[in-house]
């Protein structure tokens, strides 16, 4: 009997290897495929039967005999027909669950390399135009139109590439909590990323590319290494090299990432100059997120750009692979056109909390995203709509919290995370994040008289302990300073979670809030 | 007067042809394209607060104090990293900016010591200035939070200390060590709140690190974190005097910062044309010799050298000296007298010494240390180019595409210039730098050191300079790499053809000469091609001829065949058209601070000032008229010949100013025998040096801090030396009671000989 | 193989690579469990960087240690999604189980955000390193089994 089990990291972490071994021991032919992105069902197993493939999950080794005997209660029917899947518009994730990730045959058999072939038959400017037409915006978080960025790089040095080096750099440093889409692409459909990079290279005149992949993703590292070797001939003369990060979230910021590839401390660079003009090793460089580049491979297929642009709302065109995580009943990968509401994502797809308790908040966009209360769940997934509500989509990770969440503690964590990951270059983040932690502790516990300030030699400082109101005002000022003066989004956006927590759940900050 | 810190425009000056006009706080200003908004605002008279920006290094954008508002731009960009744009409208003082700046300042002060009043940077601290500027009144975070105040101060370096507790992690020091000095001894270790300036690796302090004590970091540091120990001990300077360093041929301009009569520190002057605000350890910190206890402060005389010295006043010393000189002259004739000028003293002082010898003693027995140093430069370049000096200024290195260093070790001997050379070699912003060829038997630092690697190192056998250069010429001529158009237009074509025939001879090929030079022929060919062509594809990529520059030093000149080598160098430059524009040329790295000037002033026995031969009647007549006396028309003795003549009894009296000839000149036994044979040796110097062992008269000299005059550096740039303190050699009650500058001593001696000189100041001498 | 020659092999393997420092440091960290001062100096020499520069880079990234720690290392994710699944409540028992025998470290996101709490055994094979859906019992068993 043929059995399919994912080798996606979630499946492995939930005991997938043991399940695969159990099926193999039971005499089945086990195929390792990419993950479907239905994480609540992992380890998800598909058995080939008379009526096609049937899914079961979550499977433990002890469930294997029942499954093989046809008596298991874990069946979910054909996975491809599961409402979780059918309600989605999977373009970037079209191959999730359906292929063996490192099989060049499976890739080619599902439309792989068509985008590259077509791109190479077009003039570079036409490829750029297609990406602009598609409306694709950077999926890493900044949401900058990808085609415009490519155009800048293509036109550097007056458009001529004579003697000039250019690079494609893929930002695979997916460090945001609540995000795993990049990881899934790299583990599940790595050739799509490589193809996208090769298309970008043709469009801008780049000869080489780098993938900067965080070291916390060992499965993705192994898979990408293998995929790069397998695809080398296909993408030649363009070549791709994998570079592994070394434990710095800030290296997800594009200029810190470039510094890291160059072998330097991962500190943020000032802009201007833009990486598009002066990026890796001083050369014009395209820096794009994994999802952005993976989307390119299907956008460049015949009609792909128009199809993509036909989806979405306003200026948020195409589909977004949303990642549902945290305290969520049905967590995983949901690729949908822009325009869906947060509530639909969390309740219709996600099924509310895993604990069954009420949803208290959702953090969208990673640790630098605002905490949103349920009364904001009507917001449509749209870059501009979220910005107008003082929130951000970022990489579209949605982390759900039930009512046991302490928002004050989470606000403190936002500052703490900033302090741990701060590159240290700019003052608002370097010092501000540490002061932010101390301040939130002080607000929650109540402040005391400052020992030094109470000394007579210190004349200018107030002697009394600051009031709660004063400390809250100080926290807001600190957030304002970090928002307005930080060098990059790490310090600049940390105020989002902090202020949103303070605004919507002041009761979680201890003390008596005007009761 | 008063003490003003040097102006700091925040980001480096940009030289661009195009200009941009914009408005800052309602004021219109036009600046070169590429200038930062911060610099434009400073030039317009504005004052944007800043802590991490300083105009000796590139903008960094880390302190976030210099934010501005720009019409049409979102948010509040940092003015240091924002270039000007045509029609930009900038506001530098708005309520929003004030709030943000105060917010940032509040964070800084929440992690900083509070005892400013007893800090050695009090009133000389940019952090204080910024706090005052933004009107900080309260640090609402309190002082109980995490901080760096327990850090231990690093006092390992003798000249400055590093106090991490006062560091604001602006990275100016790290960037200065990288961009200005090129040593990269500093880094920031750790990250986030734990970021700290580190001098090297985990176990290093400043002394054990790669630091060369150039002081660039101290100068850049806005707080007391890096500060001169002298400031801590003496106090903040009250006034400053611009003067020129006396250590080497770079001729760095310094601000001597004084507190009363006491020198507190020497700070490089940003407008110094030779050093552009940089320094090395010597000029920056090693000036303590001026106030050393071993300085000789009063004249001393003795009848014979086996007697102890007797301290006397100036009047007695000069009378003694003059009477002895007169007696020797009367008995043995004027050619028994002579002198040696100093390559450390000012032009005016050197001029007076050679004038004294020529018009007072009556002979042309005058010479200078260049004799054993760059005299081959003088001869070689005069013969080839017509002037006894190099062809470029130091700025020229910034335009070089190929740099050839032969017989010089600039990172050790001319460190400030070497830093500029290294900066050019490293390139900038992804643009390639200059390629480097090193011809030296030693593997000098330039061959390979952090971020610097020579494209070719030719480790030749000592003694084969001419052979190697001839082999290079062979390659250039036989491979058709000579610049014929240039030679026809600017050189003597017939001479060139003779030379070309000679070097093209097969016996001068790299392959044949490898036997003597030990330089692998392929390497030499590659180096020659690189010098001549800039590397393959240069023309296509750059659309112009490459600029190739040669820098050479004592490895060329302090050598037999020195003059031939200099001429060979000049020929290479001419043959490839590398003369007459920035980035090219022949650059002798003159050693001493005024050796160029000393030669210019007529220190050679065969030439009057300006290298005019003494036998030339017209020139001699000019001087005779000017000086009111007849002059000897025969060239005099060179230094080595002075000792020969002393030994045969015809040379009997020597006036040595500012040179320790027994220490410096070759064949010590010969020198000491010569000195011992003389009847009268007058040493005019700061300390009892080796030569003084053989002296009968010791006239205490004055350091460069104690006199006014000019030095001429290796660029032939004449720069002012200004007196900052009273000479230390005041003695007696008569003349010289208040101390004498060296030229005043020479004049006093001349007058003791009845010459009636009455120069009131050195400007008159120069005029 | 002794350290200097192993290090020399690593350096040789990366010769000619642009921006080679981080790949080299990863290999050195993997081979020796740390990047020592001597290694920093040797790397600086090979890459023609200053010792200070290399040290600055090594000290910036959390993956590189100054001294080797031979104990088993378990990284427990403490980021928001795992917090939403209650990881903080598990920490006291985890520390108890780890004692001084096992080094517990915080990591911020392993990309298993719908299956938290999650942890990673540093240095384990790719197939065995990751653990998700941890609770007090399974986490304690995991630590005890290291």
* Nearest CA distance, B142 vs chain A (angstrom): 6
Same domain, C52 and C115: no
In this prediction, residues B121-138 reach a mean pLDDT of 96
Predicted confidence at residue B767, as pLDDT, reads: 86
Q: What is the mean pLDDT of chain B?
A: 95
List, as ranges, residues 136-175 from B with C-beta within 8 Å of A. Answer: 137-146, 168-169, 171
What is the Cα–Cα distance from B41 to B67, expressed in whole angstroms? Answer: 12
Which of C57, C63, C113 is facing A326, going by the closest CB pair?
C113
Same domain, C24 and C54: yes
Q: Which residues contact B436 (CB under 8 A, 6 or more apart)?
A: B402, B403, B404, B405, B425, B446, B452, B453, B454, B455, B456
Contacts of C60 in chain B (CB under 8 A): 189-191
Q: CATH for A104-309?
A: 3.40.50.11540
Chain segment A173-202, per-residue pLDDT in tens: 999 999 999 999 999 999 999 999 999 999
Which range, A312-316, B1-5, B725-729, C37-41, is most confident?
Answer: C37-41
Q: If residue A364 lies in a helix (H) or strand (E), which one and from where to where?
A: strand A359-364
Chain segment A457-470, per-residue pLDDT in tens: 999 999 999 999 99
Contacts of A474 in chain B (CB under 8 A): 140-141
Same domain, C94 and C50: no
Q: Determine whether the interchain pair C129/A400 forms a contact, defined as Cβ–Cβ distance below 8 Å.
A: no
Same domain, C101 and C125: yes
> For the stretch B701-712, what's the b/e string if a residue is b when 16 or more beta carbons lie within 10 angstroms of its beta carbon?
bbbbbbbbbbbb
Residue A514's pLDDT band, with cuts at 50, 70 and 90, is very low
Predicted confidence at residue B736, as pLDDT, reads: 77
In a domain, C126, yes or no: yes
Same domain, C140 and C109: yes
Predicted confidence at residue A515, as pLDDT, reads: 33
What is the Cα–Cα distance from A5 to C128, expressed in whole angstroms? Answer: 16
3-class SS shares of chain C: helix, strand, coil, % to 5: 50, 10, 40
Q: Determine whether the interchain pair C84/A400 forms a contact, defined as Cβ–Cβ distance below 8 Å.
A: yes
* Nearest CA distance, A308 vs chain C (angstrom): 27
Q: If residue B268 lies in a helix (H) or strand (E), which one and from where to where?
A: strand B262-268
Residue B3's pLDDT band, with cuts at 50, 70 and 90, is confident
Tell me if ipTM is over 0.85.
yes
Q: Determine whether the interchain pair B76/A420 forms a contact, defined as Cβ–Cβ distance below 8 Å.
A: no
State what percent of residues in chain B have pLDDT above 70: 100
Contact A393, A353 (CB under 8 A): no
Closest residue on chain B to A419 (Cα): B192
Same domain, C82 and C140: yes
Contact A179, C111 (CB under 8 A): yes
Neighbours of A159 (CB within 10 A): 10
Segments in A189-341 forming alpha helices (H): 190-204, 218-235, 254-261, 290-299, 304-310
Predicted confidence at residue A421, as pLDDT, reads: 98
Whether residue A390 has pLDDT greater than 80: yes
Q: Determine whether the interchain pair A417/C79 forms a contact, defined as Cβ–Cβ distance below 8 Å.
A: yes
Is B256 strand, coil or helix? strand
Q: Which chains touch A (3 or more CB pairs under 8 A)?
A: B, C
Predicted confidence at residue B737, as pLDDT, reads: 80
Contacts of B449 in chain C (CB under 8 A): 48
Structure tokens given for B407: 């017989």
Q: Is some CB atom of chain B closer than 8 A to the CB atom of A438?
A: yes
- Measure the CA angle with vertex B435, ends B432 and B439; round to 5°: 165
Same domain, C78 and C45: no
Whether residue B259 has pLDDT greater than 60: yes
Chain segment B417-440, per-residue pLDDT in tens: 999 999 999 998 778 899 999 999
State what percent of residues in chain A have pLDDT above 70: 98
Whether residue A246 has pLDDT greater than 70: yes
Which of C60, C106, C131 is facing A248, going by the closest CB pair?
C60
Q: CATH for A407-509?
A: 1.20.1440.230
End-to-end, the C-alpha distance of chain B in Å comes to 28
Predicted confidence at residue A158, as pLDDT, reads: 60
State the architecture of A2-86 in CATH terms: 3-Layer(aba) Sandwich (3.40)
Chain segment A35-44, per-residue pLDDT in tens: 999 999 999 9
Name which of A7, A20, A167, A218 to mutate to probe chain C: the one with the most chain C Cβ atoms within 10 A of its Cβ: A218
Which of A282, A426, A458 is facing B64, going by the closest CB pair?
A426
Q: Determine whether the interchain pair A431/B111 forms a contact, defined as Cβ–Cβ distance below 8 Å.
A: yes
Chain segment A417-430, per-residue pLDDT in tens: 999 999 999 999 99
Same domain, C56 and C77: no
Structure tokens given for C51: 């010792």
- DSSP output for B274-288: TTTT---HHHHH--G
Structure tokens given for B304: 């014979």
Is C90 strand, coil or helix? helix
Backbone φ/ψ region at B213: left (φ over 0), alpha (ψ -120 to 50), beta: left
Q: Which chains touch B (3 or more CB pairs under 8 A)?
A: A, C
Q: Determine whether the interchain pair A423/B145 forms a contact, defined as Cβ–Cβ distance below 8 Å.
A: no
Q: Is some CB atom of chain C closer than 8 A to the CB atom of B188?
A: yes
Closest residue on chain C to A216 (Cα): C110
Chain segment B52-96, per-residue pLDDT in tens: 999 999 999 999 999 999 999 999 999 999 999 999 999 999 999
Q: Determine whether the interchain pair A175/C108 forms a contact, defined as Cβ–Cβ distance below 8 Å.
A: yes
Residue B730's pLDDT band, with cuts at 50, 70 and 90, is confident
Same domain, C47 and C91: no
Whether residue A512 has pLDDT greater than 70: no
Q: Which fold has domain A321-402?
A: Ubiquitin-like (UB roll) (3.10.20)
Which of C25, C47, C84 is facing A399, going by the closest CB pair?
C84
Contacts of A278 in chain B (CB under 8 A): 429-430
Contacts of C49 in chain B (CB under 8 A): 184, 450-451
In B680-761, the DSSP E strands lie at: 680-685, 697-700, 709-712, 718-721
Total domains present in chain C: 2
Is B516 strand, coil or helix? helix
- Measure the CA angle with vertex B192, ends B186 and B194; round to 5°: 65
State what percent of residues in chain B have pLDDT above 90: 91
* Nearest CA distance, A70 vs chain C (angstrom): 27
* Nearest CA distance, A74 vs chain B (angstrom): 48
Chain segment B276-323, per-residue pLDDT in tens: 999 999 999 999 999 899 999 999 999 999 999 999 999 999 999 999
In a domain, C68, yes or no: no
Which of A10, A175, A354 is facing C132, going by the closest CB pair?
A10
In this prediction, residues B152-169 reach a mean pLDDT of 98
Neighbours of C117 (CB within 10 A): 29
List, as ranges, residues 220-249 from A with C-beta within 8 Å of B. Answer: 248
3-state secondary structure B105-149: HHHHHCCCCCCHHHCCCCCCCHHHHHHHHHCCCCCCCCCCCCCCC
Q: How far, rounded to the nearest angstrom, does the alpha carbon of residue A355 sit from its chain's CA centroid? A: 24
Predicted confidence at residue B444, as pLDDT, reads: 98
Return the sign of the alpha-carbon dihedral for residues A280, A283, A289, A295: negative
Chain segment B591-629, per-residue pLDDT in tens: 899 999 999 999 999 999 998 999 988 999 999 999 999
Same domain, C90 and C45: no
In a domain, C43, yes or no: yes
Neighbours of B496 (CB within 10 A): 18
In a domain, C41, yes or no: yes
What is the Cα–Cα distance from B551 to B437, expressed in whole angstroms? Answer: 10
Same domain, C77 and C136: yes
Chain segment A110-134, per-residue pLDDT in tens: 999 999 999 999 999 999 999 999 9
Q: Is some CB atom of chain B closer than 8 A to the CB atom of C55?
A: yes
In a domain, C66, yes or no: no
Residue with more model confidence, B201 or A514:
B201
Q: Which of C35, C60, C85 is the last residue of a domain?
A: C60
In a domain, C67, yes or no: no
Which of A265, A273, A485 is facing B103, going by the closest CB pair?
A485
Whether residue B663 has pLDDT greater than 70: yes
Chain segment A337-360, per-residue pLDDT in tens: 999 999 999 999 999 999 999 999
Supply the range of the domain harboring residue C41. Answer: 4-60
Contact A242, A226 (CB under 8 A): no
Predicted confidence at residue B438, as pLDDT, reads: 98
Chain segment C30-61, per-residue pLDDT in tens: 999 999 999 999 999 999 999 999 999 999 99
Structure tokens given for A131: 């990406």
Domains of chain B: 19-93 (3.10.20.740), 303-365+636-766 (3.40.50.740), 376-592 (3.40.228.10)
In a domain, C125, yes or no: yes
* Nearest CA distance, C138 vs chain B (angstrom): 34
What is the Cα–Cα distance from C103 to C89, expressed in whole angstroms? Answer: 18
pTM: 0.95
Contacts of C47 in chain A (CB under 8 A): 263
Backbone φ, ψ for residue B681 (5° rounding): -115, 120
Predicted confidence at residue B1, as pLDDT, reads: 52
Chain segment B320-337, per-residue pLDDT in tens: 999 999 999 999 999 999
Q: Determine whether the interchain pair A244/C26 forms a contact, defined as Cβ–Cβ distance below 8 Å.
A: yes
Chain segment B351-395, per-residue pLDDT in tens: 999 999 999 999 999 999 888 788 888 889 999 998 888 999 999
Q: Is some CB atom of chain C closer than 8 A to the CB atom of B207?
A: no
Q: How far, rounded to the nearest angstrom, does the alpha carbon of residue A481 sit from its chain's CA centroid? A: 27
- C77, burial (CB in 10 Å: exposed 0-12, middle 13-18, buried 19+): buried
Q: Is some CB atom of chain B closer than 8 A to the CB atom of C41?
A: yes
Q: Determine whether the interchain pair A458/B114 forms a contact, defined as Cβ–Cβ distance below 8 Å.
A: yes
Contacts of A101 in chain C (CB under 8 A): none
CATH no. for residue C137? 3.40.30.10
Q: Where are the domains of chain A?
A: 2-86, 104-309, 321-402, 407-509
Q: Determine whether the interchain pair B189/C48 forms a contact, defined as Cβ–Cβ distance below 8 Å.
A: no
Q: Determine whether the interchain pair C83/A17 forms a contact, defined as Cβ–Cβ distance below 8 Å.
A: no
Residue with more model confidence, C103 or C3:
C103
- Tell me if A321-402 shares its fold with A407-509: no
What is the Cα–Cα distance from B586 to B570, expressed in whole angstroms? Answer: 6
């Amino acid at each position: 009997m043929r059995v399919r089990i994912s080798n996606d990291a979630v499946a492995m972490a939930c005991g997938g290897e043991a399940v695969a071994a159990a099926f193999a021991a039971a005499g089945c032919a086990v195929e390792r495929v990419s993950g479907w992105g239905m994480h609540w069902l992992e380890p998800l197993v598909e058995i080939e039967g008379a009526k096609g493939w049937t899914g079961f999950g979550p499977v433990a080794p002890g469930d294997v005999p029942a499954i093989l005997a046809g008596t298991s209660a874990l069946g979910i029917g054909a996975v491809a027909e599961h409402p979780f899947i059918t309600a989605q518009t999977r373009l970037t994730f079209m191959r999730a669950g359906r292929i063996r990730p490192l099989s060049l045959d499976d890739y080619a058999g599902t439309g792989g390399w068509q985008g590259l072939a077509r791109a190479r038959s077009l003039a570079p400017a036409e490829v750029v135009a297609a990406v602009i037409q598609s409306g694709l915006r950077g999926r890493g978080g900044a949401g900058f139109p990808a085609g415009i960025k490519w155009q800048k790089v293509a036109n550097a040095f007056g458009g001529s590439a004579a003697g000039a080096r250019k690079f494609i750099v893929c930002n695979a440093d997916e460090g945001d909590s609540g995000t795993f889409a990049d990881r899934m692409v790299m583990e599940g459909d790595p050739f799509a990323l490589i193809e996208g990079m090769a298309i970008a290279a043709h469009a801008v005149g780049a000869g080489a590319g780098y993938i900067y992949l965080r070291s916390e993703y060992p499965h993705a590292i192994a898979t990408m290494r293998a995929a790069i070797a397998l695809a080398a001939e296909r993408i030649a003369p363009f070549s791709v090299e994998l570079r592994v990060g070394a434990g710095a979230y800030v290296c997800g910021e594009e200029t810190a990432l470039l510094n890291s590839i160059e072998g330097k401390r991962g500190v943020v660079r000032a802009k201007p100059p833009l990486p598009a003009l002066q990026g890796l090793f001083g050369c014009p460089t395209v820096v794009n997120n994994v999802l952005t580049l993976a989307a390119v491979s299907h956008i460049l297929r015949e009609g792909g750009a128009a199809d993509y642009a036909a989806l979405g709302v306003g200026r948020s065109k195409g589909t977004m692979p949303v990642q549902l995580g945290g305290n969520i009943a049905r967590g995983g990968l949901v690729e949908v056109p822009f325009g869906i509401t947060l509530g639909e994502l969390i309740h219709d797809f996600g099924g509310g909390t895993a604990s069954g308790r009420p949803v208290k908040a959702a953090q969208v966009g990673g640790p630098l995203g605002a905490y949103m209360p349920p009364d904001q769940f009507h917001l449509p997934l749209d870059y501009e709509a979220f910005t107008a509500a003082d929130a951000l989509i970022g990489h579209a990770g949605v982390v759900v919290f039930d009512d046991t969440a302490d928002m004050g503690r989470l606000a403190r964590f936002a500052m703490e995370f900033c302090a741990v990951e701060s590159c240290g270059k700019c003052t608002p983040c370097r010092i501000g994040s540490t002061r932010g932690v101390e301040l939130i502790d002080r607000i929650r516990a109540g402040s005391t008289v400052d020992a030094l300030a109470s000394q007579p030699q210190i004349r200018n400082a107030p002697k009394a302990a600051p009031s709660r109101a004063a400390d809250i005002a100080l926290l807001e000022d600190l957030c304002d300073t970090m928002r307005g003066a930080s060098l990059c989004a790490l310090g600049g956006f940390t105020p989002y979670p902090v202020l949103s927590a303070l605004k919507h759940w002041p009761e979680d900050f201890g003390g008596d809030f005007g009761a | 007067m008063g003490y003003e810190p040097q102006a700091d425009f925040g980001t480096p000056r940009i030289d661009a042809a195009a200009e941009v006009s914009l408005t800052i706080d309602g004021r219109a200003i036009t600046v070169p394209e590429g200038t930062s908004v911060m610099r434009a605002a400073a030039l317009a008279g504005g004052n944007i607060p800043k802590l991490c920006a300083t105009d000796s290094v590139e903008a960094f954008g880390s302190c976030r104090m210099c934010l501005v508002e720009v019409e049409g731009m979102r948010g509040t960009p940092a003015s240091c990293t924002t270039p000007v744009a045509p029609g930009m409208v900038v506001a530098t003082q708005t309520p929003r900016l004030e709030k943000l700046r105060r917010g940032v300042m509040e964070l800084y002060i929440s992690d900083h010591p509070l005892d400013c009043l007893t800090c050695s940077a009090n009133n000389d601290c940019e952090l204080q200035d910024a706090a005052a500027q933004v009107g900080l009144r309260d640090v609402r975070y309190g002082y109980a939070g995490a901080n760096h105040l327990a850090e231990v101060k690093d006092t390992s370096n003798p000249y400055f200390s590093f106090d991490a507790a006062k560091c604001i992690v602006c990275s100016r020091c790290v960037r200065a060590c990288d961009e200005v000095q090129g040593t990269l001894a500093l880094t920031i270790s750790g990250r986030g709140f734990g970021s700290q300036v580190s001098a090297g690796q985990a176990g290093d302090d400043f002394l054990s690190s790669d630091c060369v004590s150039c002081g660039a970091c101290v100068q850049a540091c806005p707080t007391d974190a890096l500060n001169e120990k002298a400031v801590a001990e003496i106090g903040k300077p009250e006034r400053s005097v611009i003067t020129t360093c006396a250590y080497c041929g770079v001729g760095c301009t310094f601000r001597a910062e004084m507190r009363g009569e006491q020198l507190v520190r020497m700070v490089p002057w940003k407008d110094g044309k030779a050093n552009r605000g940089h320094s090395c350890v010597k000029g920056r910190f090693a000036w303590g010799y001026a106030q050393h206890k071993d300085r000789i402060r009063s004249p001393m005389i003795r009848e014979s050298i086996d007697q102890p010295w007797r301290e006397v006043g100036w009047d007695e010393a000069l009378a003694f000296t003059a009477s002895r000189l007169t007696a020797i002259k009367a008995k043995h004739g004027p050619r028994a007298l002579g002198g040696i000028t100093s390559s450390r003293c000012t032009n005016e002082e050197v001029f007076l010494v050679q004038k004294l010898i020529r018009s007072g003693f009556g002979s042309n027995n005058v010479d200078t240390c260049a004799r054993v140093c760059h005299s081959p430069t003088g001869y070689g370049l005069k013969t080839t180019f017509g002037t006894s000096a190099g062809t470029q200024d130091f700025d020229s290195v910034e335009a070089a595409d190929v740099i050839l260093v032969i017989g010089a070790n600039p990172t050790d001997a001319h460190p400030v210039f070497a830093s500029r050379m290294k900066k050019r070699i490293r390139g900038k912003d992804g643009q390639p730098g200059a390629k480097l060829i090193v011809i030296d038997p030693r593997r000098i630092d330039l061959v390979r050191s952090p971020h610097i690697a020579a494209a070719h190192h030719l480790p030749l056998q000592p003694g084969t300079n001419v052979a190697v250069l001839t082999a290079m010429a062979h390659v250039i001529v036989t491979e058709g790499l000579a610049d014929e158009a240039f030679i026809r237009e600017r050189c003597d074509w017939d001479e060139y053809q003779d030379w070309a025939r000679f070097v093209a001879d097969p016996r001068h090929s790299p392959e044949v000469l490898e036997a003597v030079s030990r330089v692998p022929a392929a390497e030499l060919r590659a180096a020659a091609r690189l010098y001549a062509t800039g590397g393959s594809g240069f023309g296509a990529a750059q659309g112009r001829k490459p600029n190739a520059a040669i820098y050479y030093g004592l490895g060329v000149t302090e050598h037999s065949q020195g003059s031939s080598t200099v001429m060979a160098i000049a020929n290479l430059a001419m043959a490839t058209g590398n003369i007459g524009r920035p980035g090219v040329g022949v650059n002798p790295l003159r050693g001493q601070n005024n050796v160029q000037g000393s030669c210019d002033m007529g220190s050679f026995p065969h030439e009057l000032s300006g290298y005019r031969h003494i036998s030339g009647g017209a020139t001699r007549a000019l001087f005779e008229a000017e000086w009111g006396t007849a002059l000897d028309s025969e060239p005099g003795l060179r230094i080595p010949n002075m000792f020969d003549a002393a030994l045969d009894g015809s040379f009997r009296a020597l006036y040595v100013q500012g040179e320790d000839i027994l220490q410096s000149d070759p064949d010590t036994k010969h020198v000491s025998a010569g000195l011992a044979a003389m009847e009268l040796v007058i040493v005019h110097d700061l300390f009892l040096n080796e030569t003084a062992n053989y002296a009968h008269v010791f006239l205490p000299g004055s350091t460069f801090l104690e006199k006014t005059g000019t030095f001429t550096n290796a660029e032939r740039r004449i720069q002012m030396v200004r007196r900052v303190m009273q000479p230390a050699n005041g003695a007696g009650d008569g003349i010289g009671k208040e101390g004498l500058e060296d030229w005043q001593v020479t004049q006093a001696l001349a007058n003791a000989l009845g010459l009636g000189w009455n120069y009131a100041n050195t400007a008159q001498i120069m005029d | 193989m002794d350290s200097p020659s192993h290090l020399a092999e690593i350096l040789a393997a990366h010769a000619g690579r642009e921006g080679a420092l981080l790949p080299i440091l990863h290999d050195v960290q993997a081979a020796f469990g740390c990047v020592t001062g001597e290694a920093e100096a040797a790397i600086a020499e090979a890459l023609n960087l200053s010792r200070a520069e290399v040290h600055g880079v090594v000290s910036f990234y959390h993956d590189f240690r100054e001294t080797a720690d031979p104990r088993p290392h378990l990284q427990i994710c403490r980021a928001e999604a795992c917090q939403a699944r209650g990881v903080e409540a598990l920490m006291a028992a985890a520390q108890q189980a780890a004692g001084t025998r096992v080094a517990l470290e915080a990591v911020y996101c392993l990309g298993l955000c719908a299956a938290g709490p999650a942890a990673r055994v540093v240095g384990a094979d790719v197939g065995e390193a990751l653990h998700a859906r941890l609770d007090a019992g399974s986490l304690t068993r995991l630590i005890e089994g290291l």
